[in-house]
Amino acid sequence: DIQMTQSPSSLSASVGDRVTITCRASQGISNYLAWYQQKPGKVPKLLIFAVSALQSGVPSRFSGSGSGTDFTLTISSLQPEDVATYYCQKHNSAPFTFGPGTKVDIK
């Protein structure tokens, strides 16, 4: 099965900073990569699918890129409400494996 890894596991940044999270698949998954945001104590929420397609209602400061095995989630200007754990996931076929998550907080 394809394994998903993320780096870093956590990061601390200042409000307004550009934040980048990396996700790597152990085999190519074409463009079937999604990102989810889970705020503390809340239900996960879909942010981005198909590498770069923004889910309806998601702020434009979030963006995704990549292809094949290497992908990134970028927050162009970190806001206090972006404090959360971010998970990548392969969504083309089962098993729909998640990455281990990246915890983002404010410095």
Partner 1 sequence: EVQLVQSGGEVKKPGESLKISCKGSGYSFTSYWLGWVRQMPGKGLEWMGIIYPGDSDTTYSPSFQGQVTISADKSISTAYLQWSSLKASDTAMYYCVRRDGVFDIWGQGTMVTVSS
Q: Is 89 in the site for partner 1 (CB under 8 A)?
A: yes
Q: Is 44 helix (H, G, I), strand (E, B) or coil?
A: coil
Q: Is 98 in the site for partner 1 (CB under 8 A)?
A: yes
Count other Cβ atoms within 10 Å, centred on residue 80: 8
Number of H helices, E strands in the chain: 0, 10
Q: Is 43 in the site for partner 1 (CB under 8 A)?
A: yes
* Region 59-78 residues binding partner 1, contact defined as CB under 8 A: none
C-alpha angle with apex 33: 30 to 35, nearest 5 degrees? 165
Shortest Å distance, C-beta 75 to partner 1: 19
Chain residues binding partner 1 by CB under 8 A are 1, 34, 36, 38, 43-46, 49-50, 55, 85, 87, 89, 91, 94-101
